[in-house]
Structure 1
Amino acid sequence: MIKNILQKLTARQDLTAEEAYSLIVAIKNDELSDVQIAGFQVALLMKGPTLTEITAIAQAMRDHCIKITPAVEEELMDTCGTGGGLSTFNISTAVAFVAAAGGIPVAKHGSRSISSLSGSADVLEALGVHINQSPKAVEKLIEDVGIAFLYAPLFHPVMGKVLPPEKDLGIKTIFYTIIGPLINPSKASRHVMGVYKPELLDTVAHVADSIGYTRALFVHGTDGLDEISLLGKTRVNELNNGIITSYEIAPEDFGLSRCSLEEIATGTPEANSVMIKDVFSGKDKGPRRQAVILNAAGALMIGDKAASMKEGIKLAGEIIDSGAAQVKLNQLIEASHEYKKIK
């Protein structure tokens, strides 16, 4: 099977949904060698993946991960982005705590960074969160604390097999930059997802709609940011129960000032953890706080806690100023160590 699929891909022929899905199952079942997996990744990257292929791969990855089903009434939210854009401090990770403090149950999916200094797993560890949790512990954290981190390698057997060749080859394939953020093991149906390439916005939105997302914002800063940008304009694809609406926003639309990349740039995980704590404590009132508030506004809006981005910005500021985001972070740090023994 794999040889036929590789032959099709190298001839720039598209795979059927069945072929793409079955390939993921074969990888899960250890039917492919590392060389064959790497060959598939490179061939698909060189051909360019189709919407059909991406949807089938995403569905297969969701069907064959280790699933969690926390007992919560509201739909779960994720803030995991694609990575690969201009490197900022961990804005989406900070947003997860603001959203959780606002009453939205958050299943924060993520991993270590390949393309920047600090991924979500890296900064959460630096903050003191124990990230290696069993599925039952993750469920309990979401139920009791309102937020948990789902460390991707622990929940995706297939991802653990496709990422090493990708890292060794030094390439970015759809597994890390597109598929990864879409395959939350909780099947979170609400999401604020930064996308690193503008041409992927429509693709990601349509795939998300096809695999069961209900409310989501897929965003790309026209300056190259894979967040809602404080540098300039942001292209947005908003998914609302099957309807996708595209529009642009800018910081000044909401009374915020633009900043430079240097003012919100990434550092080491340790440095970024200090940045997040300074925002939550009120010590940092500058662009980093504004970047968190702008992105948290989107999360609060699609989480039905705010009627608009403008209202979301006001609420996000209030959540941070009240200390609730810091409290939520502290709760997760403490509970993550307490629950790490749960099997």
Structure 2
Amino acid sequence: MGSSIQLPSNAHRLQVRLQKDDLHRLFTSLEDAEHEEAILCQLGSLRKTFANFLAHERQLDPPDNATLTRYFDACSDPEQGPQELLEILRLLAPGNGHIGRNQVNFLADHLRTRVEHFLQSKQQDLSLLHTHDHVFGSGGDFCKTIHASTAAAIVAAPLVTICKTGTTNVTSYHGSAQAMETFGYRHSHLSIPTLNQELDSYGFTFIPLSALNFPYSQALKQAREALWHEAMNQLTQHCDVGDPNWQETLRTTPLTLDIFKIVSPNAQVLRPTHHSTGICSLAMLPYVLSLYLHLESEGIIVHCYDGIDELSNASSLSDPQQPTNLLIQVTRDEIVFEECSPEDLGLKRARLEEIREEVDLAATQSDTWHILAGEEQGPRRDFIVANAALLLVANQGIVPSQDSLHSQLREAIALINTVIDSHQVADNFTQLLNAHQQQHIQL
């Protein structure tokens, strides 16, 4: 379906640095037209995304905080059915005329407070959790790629300390919590001393969001899945996934945003030092970026223009000059926006079907083990390696700072390939699983 798009051979790469204060002023001073125009001009291909966001913010008719809290907490109510929750998701959708930046930030604060009180009720002191970084994709990417963020964290663990959180599947065939259980890793109860032991010894630990009292009932999962299918139906009315105009369709088709793809991954309830996340829709970017500013976070946001919430080596487009990924690095003082292609990172551009998720979880885990052990080359390994490298760049202390993010990523990719091929990754993860299972037996 659709017609081929002719792309220039020298497609422009966005590469701009903004001061945090300038972006915060853009979000909050909605009547400062001169400043707004100056920032939007610098954002190039992202201009329309941010202009639409600002126009929405100016016309916002928001609910009060008590109403927001009631809607959000209803998503944890076991008496609510999928259809009722679907209506609540529509009411909470950012960009719907009522939910804007301030409401998203408020709900993130509310969720952080909920988790803190829950941990206190379990006699777990969050302040005792050791220093760590965090990664969590938004999930629900429109190409159903292999689950990369958990595998990437495992791969990066010999070099950077990651406390990974995750869920069971909502729109994918399986989620990170199910993947970790298949590996033989499962926390029967939350213990910060146990998490610290794993962080200190192996650089990796995993917590399912269900252990933190997040709203993830079966009815809510069904409602969120229904919302995702509505979005997919809207997109595929224009073209099929992976067609030459697929990226343009993703950019121009208005979709109802899932609040849980924005707030849950980015509330950063465990207070990481650096936070990395992915978004499956560009329309999510201003809200996620506003959360970084609100929470004073540092780290990286990534988006693949094919609707993938990861850094992708695959694309629907074959032109090596065409950027496929958007990287946003948030540091203490500035925000860097940069586009890149797989070729910029020294990777071969793959087809989307080469990194697609398998239905069979056991087969997926077997494939992942081959990658962890250095026994597989090719697109799936490149996909995981690229996202592990992203965690090294997000840390800001492992790869020397260079002029461009893609230059840092090239160096980080080389480091990741070295630790895989030296068997450090497989040995480290095997030792973690053995120790974790022994701990589980003792409990």
TM-score range, shorter chain: 0.7 to 0.9
Aligned to 2:149: 92
**SS of aligned partner of 2:290:** helix
1:327 aligns with 2:427: yes
Please state how far the C-alpha of 1:57 moved relative to its aligned partner: 0.5
- Partners of 1:107 and 1:142 within 8 A in 2: yes
Which region of structure 1 is more displaced relative to structure 2, 315-324 or 171-180? 171-180
Q: Which of the residues 85, 92, 95 maps onto 1:44?
A: 92
Which region of structure 1 is more displaced relative to structure 2, 51-60 or 166-175? 166-175
Q: TM-score, normalised by structure 2?
A: 0.67
- Partners of 2:144 and 2:172 within 8 A in 1: yes
1:201 aligns with 2:285: yes
The AA in structure 1 aligned to 2:422 is S
Residues 311-342 of structure 1: per-residue CA shift (max 9 Å, x gap):
11111111111111112221231232233378
Aligned to 1:305: 398
Mark the CA change 1:283 to 1:151 in structure 2 (over 3 Å): closer, same or farther: same
Which region of structure 1 is more displaced relative to structure 2, 140-149 or 104-113? 140-149
How far apart in 2 are the matches of 1:151 and 1:21? 25
Give 1 or 2 for the bigger CA radius of gyration.
Answer: 2
- Partners of 1:141 and 1:148 within 8 A in 2: yes
Please state how far the C-alpha of 1:207 moved relative to its aligned partner: 0.7
How far apart in 1 are the matches of 2:439 and 2:288? 34
The AA in structure 2 aligned to 1:294 is A
- Partners of 1:117 and 1:266 within 8 A in 2: yes
Aligned to 2:405: none
Mark the CA change 1:291 to 1:225 in structure 2 (over 3 Å): closer, same or farther: same
Aligned to 2:62: 14
- Partners of 1:71 and 1:143 within 8 A in 2: no
Q: Which of the residues 300, 307, 312 maps onto 1:229?
A: 312
- Partners of 2:303 and 2:326 within 8 A in 1: yes
Please state how far the C-alpha of 1:140 moved relative to its aligned partner: 3.2
Mark the CA change 1:24 to 1:108 in structure 2 (over 3 Å): closer, same or farther: farther
Mark the CA change 1:295 to 1:338 in structure 2 (over 3 Å): closer, same or farther: same
Counterpart mapping for 1:71-86 below 5 A: 71-72=129-130, 75-85=131-141, 86=143
Mark the CA change 1:333 to 1:70 in structure 2 (over 3 Å): closer, same or farther: farther
Mark the CA change 1:19 to 1:83 in structure 2 (over 3 Å): closer, same or farther: same
- Partners of 2:202 and 2:429 within 8 A in 1: no
Aligned to 1:164: 219
Aligned to 1:7: none
Q: Which of the residues 50, 53, 73 maps onto 2:103?
A: 53
**SS of aligned partner of 1:64:** helix
Please state how far the C-alpha of 1:126 moved relative to its aligned partner: 1.5
How far apart in 2 are the matches of 1:300 and 1:151? 23
How far apart in 2 are the matches of 1:26 and 1:98? 36
1:289 aligns with 2:344: no
The AA in structure 1 aligned to 2:314 is L
Q: Which of the residues 329, 344, 348 maps onto 1:238?
A: 329
**SS of aligned partner of 1:247:** strand
Mark the CA change 1:20 to 1:187 in structure 2 (over 3 Å): closer, same or farther: farther
Which region of structure 1 is more displaced relative to structure 2, 273-282 or 59-68? 59-68
Mark the CA change 1:263 to 1:210 in structure 2 (over 3 Å): closer, same or farther: same
Please state how far the C-alpha of 1:166 moved relative to its aligned partner: 4.7
The AA in structure 2 aligned to 1:42 is R
Please state how far the C-alpha of 1:259 moved relative to its aligned partner: 0.5
Counterpart mapping for 1:119-138 below 5 A: 119-136=175-192, 137-138=194-195
Aligned to 1:257: 348
Counterpart mapping for 1:184-199 below 5 A: 184-199=268-283
Which stretches in structure 2 are left out of the alignment for 5+ residues?
A: 1-59, 120-125, 229-256, 316-323, 401-407
Counterpart mapping for 1:138-157 below 5 A: 138-157=195-214
1:34 aligns with 2:80: yes
Alignment RMSD, CA only? Answer: 2.7
Which region of structure 1 is more displaced relative to structure 2, 321-330 or 130-139? 130-139
- Partners of 1:202 and 1:237 within 8 A in 2: no
The AA in structure 2 aligned to 1:194 is G
Please state how far the C-alpha of 1:71 moved relative to its aligned partner: 4.9
- Partners of 1:231 and 1:260 within 8 A in 2: yes
How many percent of aligned residue pairs carry the same amino acid?
Answer: 22
Aligned to 2:302: 219
The AA in structure 2 aligned to 1:255 is G
Residues 186-240 of structure 1: per-residue CA shift (max 9 Å, x gap):
22231221111012123212212312312x1111111222110101410122111
The AA in structure 2 aligned to 1:13 is D
How far apart in 2 are the matches of 1:334 and 1:241? 38
How far apart in 2 are the matches of 1:27 and 1:242? 38
Mark the CA change 1:26 to 1:290 in structure 2 (over 3 Å): closer, same or farther: closer
